[in-house]
Structure 1
Amino acid sequence: MITKEFCAENLADLHKLNSPDITRVELCDNLAVGGTTPSYGVIKEANQYLHEKNISTAIMIRPRGGNFIYNDLELRVMEEDILRAAELESDALVLGLLTQDNQLDKEGIEQLLPSTQGLPLVFHMAFDQIPQKDQFQAMEDLIGYGFTRILTHGNPDGKSDIFNNLTHLKALVEHASGRIDIQIGGGVTKDNFEELVELTGAKQVHGTQLI
């Protein structure tokens, strides 16, 4: 079974969700910069609206646009946002933290883990900034931290045609071997997702053009 996750900006796109095969929404704000944390009120209203439709939610935890290197103040903001998202009965959290040399920020992840209260964790497309040769070890580390899903385009620029990245995406799916879900996004649409799933072996897709 293929899981289709619709990426929604704020509350504006939720009225589009008439398709019964959308079972999860990633909720964020500011898609122009790749998505940031939505407000308390947006999370509250979206969770209530979507849960009534039996659609689960994954809430973006990202305090700003730009890179994924966060200082102590930003980490505290992320902790607070995580606590609020959990309080509002969100179903999953979406985050990504890197070091200056584009490796996993293990110290930052470990700081945030207690606040997540066991909610499913998704590492977003910051993963694509990790050098490809290091992504397999990064995957192992994320599995160790309890992450359940990685969202990836397969290329660090995030803009190239996803069909150019099939070999690497397939390698990630094979390495994951069911231990963590590899969710593909960035150029995935309602017209091409089935072909992408067939070519990569991924079972989860993500995008704004899936409906």
Structure 2
Amino acid sequence: MKREIALGDIATMKAAIAGGINRVELNAHLELGGLTPDWQIVAEAVKIAQAANIDLVVMVRPRAGDFNYNYAEIENMRRSILLFKSLGVKMVTFGVVDEKGHLAKGKMVKLIEAAKPMHVVYHMAFDAIVPAYQPQALQWLYQYGVIRVLTHGGQLNEQIDETIHHLQEIVAMAPEKLIIMPGGGITYENATDIAEKLGVNEVHGSKIIAL
């Protein structure tokens, strides 16, 4: 099982690597759900990840709150993506949702194009998409080359055992080669149990290994 840790500093990254983590998602301000980190930290993290031969994903999220970004915010995200690409980042995570709870396809295309040839992950903005629109969103994301979707299966104030049924539905509705990665309330204590219930082999959390 692949374990991805969400973290916000280099010291925690080094500890996670020493603890056997498979992949790191680098953020700023985890207390706000994760925002775009400073480029200096990203540059250092790239070197550490390369030396340890582990995957690094970098968060691109310009502010806390909803995922309905305006033109200036999308441009901010696009510039961050291009900067991270220049620093050697191989994988970025972002998500855009419109005011009606649809996947914001036009804005997503702009960011996906900027990210090439980096891998793109759609983060928990997925849970802000109206459930009725989620099957179509998954198909679209897969068609546009997104490799993985991070989801809690509901609002983050709901416990993971309350959202497990919808997570099972998301796994079932996803295209076969699109990885569904559960997160939000998954820890080193319950990760194996949740992965088995969902039939997935990748899990995400800030406490996904014991540090």
Q: Which TM-score band applies after superposition, normalised by the shorter structure?
A: over 0.9
2:176 corresponds, among 156, 175, 178, to: 178
Does residue 19 (structure 1) correspond to residue 19 (structure 2)? The answer is yes
| Percent identity (aligned) | 33
1:189 counterpart letter in structure 2: T
Alpha-carbon separation, structure 2, partners of 1:173 and 1:113: 23
> Which shows bigger deviation, 176-185 or 96-105?
176-185
Alpha-carbon separation, structure 2, partners of 1:127 and 1:113: 16
Alpha-carbon separation, structure 2, partners of 1:14 and 1:59: 13
2:207 corresponds, among 197, 206, 209, to: 209
Map of 1:193 onto structure 2: 191
Map of 2:83 onto structure 1: 84
Map of 1:141 onto structure 2: 140
Conserved in 1, the CA contact under 8 Å of 2:138 and 2:175? no
Does residue 119 (structure 1) correspond to residue 95 (structure 2)? The answer is no
Q: Which runs of 5+ in 2 are unaligned?
A: none
Alpha-carbon separation, structure 1, partners of 2:4 and 2:163: 20
2:159 corresponds, among 161, 177, 180, to: 161
Matched position secondary structure for 2:7: strand
How far does the alpha carbon of each residue in 1:78-107 deviate from its partner, in whole angstroms, 9 at most, with x for none?
111001111111121100001011111111
Conserved in 2, the CA contact under 8 Å of 1:59 and 1:92? yes
How far does the alpha carbon of each residue in 1:143-178 deviate from its partner, in whole angstroms, 9 at most, with x for none?
1111000000001x2121101111111121122253
1:65 counterpart letter in structure 2: A
Alpha-carbon separation, structure 2, partners of 1:176 and 1:110: 20
Alpha-carbon separation, structure 1, partners of 2:84 and 2:194: 32
Number of matched residues? 208
Conserved in 1, the CA contact under 8 Å of 2:120 and 2:146? yes
Conserved in 1, the CA contact under 8 Å of 2:36 and 2:60? yes
How far does the alpha carbon of each residue in 1:41-80 deviate from its partner, in whole angstroms, 9 at most, with x for none?
0100011112211111000011111111111111111111
1:113 counterpart letter in structure 2: I
CA RMSD of aligned residues (A): 1.1
Q: Which runs of 5+ in 1 are unaligned?
A: none
TM-score (ref. length: structure 2): 0.95
Matched position secondary structure for 2:182: strand
Alpha-carbon separation, structure 1, partners of 2:83 and 2:141: 23
